[in-house]
Chain A
Amino acid sequence: AQSVAQPEDQVNVAEGNPLTVKCTYSVSGNPYLFWYVQYPNRGLQFLLKYITGDNLVKGSYGFEAEFNKSQTSFHLKKPSALVSDSALYFCAVIRATSGTYKYIFGTGTRLKVLA
């Protein structure tokens, strides 16, 4: 079965330090992987995606993610965290089904950046 795991419920990091939010996946075939962010009282916003190509994917707001096939991981990273990055982050994978597709989301990781 295809699945996504976010092993940390919360990540705390000091402002200016690098941050990593972890995601591992289990899919058959080539994975299509995504990161979304949810700011308080708002819907989810797309950050970045990996379909194919370079393992390092760059996205919005200075975020990037590294696809690692051998470790089946797609960790979200940022070199220098901002307080405004504090939000809920979701990793997702596409699952093909009956000629269309569905998303599977992780349970989310709350990032708290401390001033």
Chain B
Amino acid sequence: DVKVTQSSRYLVKRTGEKVFLECVQDMDHENMFWYRQDPGLGLRLIYFSYDVKMKEKGDIPEGYSVSREKKERFSLILESASTNQTSMYLCASSSRGEQYFGPGTRLTVT
């Protein structure tokens, strides 16, 4: 089975902190994605990567950056956390077709 793991299930950070969310997949997938999920808004794409060291902006990249130094790992970085970044963050990977999701990280910024 494909496994996508995320470093934390729950995270509480203070406004202005730098936050790192880690995602690891074990299926050698080329494509990896970061989404945020908010009630009534569904999933919104923040960034995605289709190869090591490659990244592309999604629909809501402002306030975020990403890093992909190894194929299996895709990190989301909040440069200076703000309260409006309180959300559920989901990582996914895919080869072609369906995506495989991690369990999510619920981030609260106070």
B12 at the interface (CB under 8 A from A): no
A45:B99 contact, CB within 8 angstroms: no
Instruction: Choose one: A9, A49, A106, A108; the contact of B98 (CB below 8 Å).
Output: A49
In the assembled complex, how far is the CB of residue A34 from the closest CB belonging to chain B, in whole angstroms?
6
Which residues of B are found within 8 Å of A32, using beta-carbon distances?
97
Interface flags for A99-110 (1: CB within 8 Å of B; 0: not) read 011110111100
B99:A103 contact, CB within 8 angstroms: yes
A28 at the interface (CB under 8 A from B): no
**Measuring CB to CB, which residues of chain A are less than 8 angstroms from any residue of chain B?**
9, 32, 34, 36, 41-46, 49, 51, 90, 97-98, 100-103, 105-108
4 nearest A-B pairs in the assembled complex, by CB-CB distance: A43-B101, A107-B42, A105-B43, A46-B98
